[in-house]
Amino acid sequence: MATAPATSAPRPMERPPRHMPVPRTSRRRAHRAGRPRRSTALTLLTGLVVVYALLPLVWLVISATKTPTGLTSSSGLWFDGDFALWSNIADTITYDDGVYLRWLLNTLLYVVAGAGGATFLAVLGGYALARFDFPGKRGVFAVVIGAVAVPGTALAIPTFLMFSKLGLTDTPWAVIIPSLISPFGLYLMTVFAAEAIPAELLEAARIDGAGEVRTFFRVSLPLLAPGIVTVLLFTMVSTWNNYFLPLIMLKDPDWYPLTLGLDSWNAQAGTAGGHAIPHLVLTGSLLTILPLIAAFLLLQRYWQSGLAAGSVKE
């Protein structure tokens, strides 16, 4: 008996999705449409910050090229007819029997001993806090974090009273010893050492028979190079620009750093007989910032190379 062919059941109508996906081209167009406004605002904001940061430097460079008469007779943001930069530099170096060079050597002494020692101690302390377990570790780290929040000016007077009892005021040690303590540098090296040095690498070095000192100098120290350069830059700038601590610690002008020496020149320029040295103050200030700029430019390549080396895997 022949049977009728089976007919397929009618398929239900497919419902379109409730939320239609937005094509990628539309997204890109919308993204590009909103990008110019953000880019323009960011460019303008960056330009304002750059102008705010560079305008005093431009004024200093221009003012250092003027004669004492040109400082008062010309615009502050434009050069005078007489270019006197080289003569101003010579006058600054030779003024008062070359006391500026003495202040420069004092500043270099404070930076090498103070900033260098602070960086070395921060590296040792940060490495120990990051890679060793000992009783009271959390408490020590909490004290370090608390010390970061304490401004240095708040400790200047107690430090002066303590150093006066020890008979160390008006000596270089009164500036060098307080500069050896850098809570921010210690905190930065602790955080950096915890991330930059794998624990497996230290275990492998110890299994191979390397002692703790050799492991630190041969294995850990190269990995800490970017952090060391960063802490060195911070401590160097802080020590180079230190003003308040030498102000209360030092009375002998022979031990003045550049910051305190230029301030004494500025005070002398404000007196009746000091009208002839404002150009020396400006030129000395320009010479003072040149070593900092050179240090940043020279150490930047090692800093960037260290950061890039840590991101490359063979």
Read off the amino acid at residue 12: P
Please tell me whether residue 140 adopts helix, strand or coil conformation. Answer: helix
Q: Which is nearest to 253 in space by CA: 242, 243, 264?
A: 264
Give the model confidence (pLDDT) of 191-228 as tens digits.
999 888 888 988 898 888 888 888 999 889 988 988 89
CB 296 within 8 A of CB 233: yes
d(CA 119, CA 180): 8
d(CA 193, CA 292): 26
d(CA 213, CA 219): 10
Q: Supply the pLDDT for residue 38.
A: 67
Angle at 240 between CA 238 and CA 241, to 5 degrees: 65
CA–CA distances in Å: residue 64 to residues 49, 53, 90, 148, 174: 24, 18, 12, 37, 33
Q: Supply the pLDDT for residue 296.
A: 84
Decide: residue 4, CB within 10 A, 0-12 exposed, 13-18 middle, 19+ buried.
exposed
* Interacting residues of 128 by C-beta distance below 8 A, sequence separation 6+: none
CB 148 within 8 A of CB 245: no
Q: Supply the pLDDT for residue 199.
A: 87
Whats the size of the chain, residue-wise?
Answer: 314
What is the reported pTM?
0.79
d(CA 27, CA 39): 18
d(CA 98, CA 93): 5
Q: Which is nearest to 154 in space by CA: 262, 248, 253, 260?
A: 248
CB 235 within 8 A of CB 301: no
Report DSSP letters for 186-221, one per residue: HHHHHHHHHHHS-HHHHHHHHHTT--HHHHIIIIIH
Residue 23 φ then ψ, to 5°? -60, 150
**Spans of the chain, pLDDT less than 70:** 1-38, 270-276, 302-314
Overall fold of domain 107-249? MetI-like fold (1.10.3720)
DSSP 217: I
Q: Supply the pLDDT for residue 75.
A: 78
Residue 5 φ then ψ, to 5°? -60, 140
DSSP 17: P
d(CA 93, CA 309): 43
d(CA 22, CA 24): 6
How many CB atoms are closer than 10 A to CB 261? 23
